[in-house]
Amino acid sequence: MATVRMNTRTLWEALHLDCWPSSAATLIDFGLDGWRKRGGVRCISGADFPTEVGQERYSALQALVKGGYVSIERLDSLLGDGPLLDSTVTRFLGDGRLRVPFETSWDELPDWRASLEAERIDSPSDWERTSMLYR
């Protein structure tokens, strides 16, 4: 398998095994966690886990993966991006597939992807750090 985040790998395997992902972080990163916005506050929707909305989203992601529409690398690029998850489902599976659009907790954080990319580019690699120590 390609180099992808652990939560993506967890979801990928769960979708292929037709089981619910065991990691809460995976659920949150892909909008499957059952959290809802109520008055600007996120709160768990109840004890009936997975929620109907979470199950609907899971089924849509499973159709994308098992149908061969997305690779594991593409799935990794969707992590934490509700609108992109939503548009990908709509593009490949058509309108009307989802009654509730994808939302992730990451959607409310401004430019988190850009800051990760900037950090990755600006920071020296492990090899560079090690070689600096021995100069």
Per-residue pLDDT, averaged over 83-89, amounts to: 93
Q: Which residue, 35, 51, 54, 53, is CA-closest to 107? A: 35
Q: What is the mean pLDDT of residues 86-91?
A: 92
Other C-beta atoms lying within 10 Å of the C-beta of residue 70: 18
Is residue 96 pLDDT above 80, yes or no? no
What three-state secondary structure class fits 25? helix
pTM equals 0.71
pLDDT digits (tens, 9 = 90+) for 30-81: 999 865 444 444 444 444 356 778 888 999 999 999 999 999 999 999 999 9
φ, ψ at 69 (rounded to 5°): -75, -30
132 pLDDT more than 60? no
**Extents of the domains making up the chain:** 6-109
Rounded to an integer, what distance in angstroms lies between the CA atom of residue 28 and that of residue 34? 8
Distance of CA 123 to CAs 30, 96, 118, 128, Å?
27, 44, 8, 9
- Cβ neighbors of 27 (< 8 A, separation 6 or more) are 21, 33, 34, 54
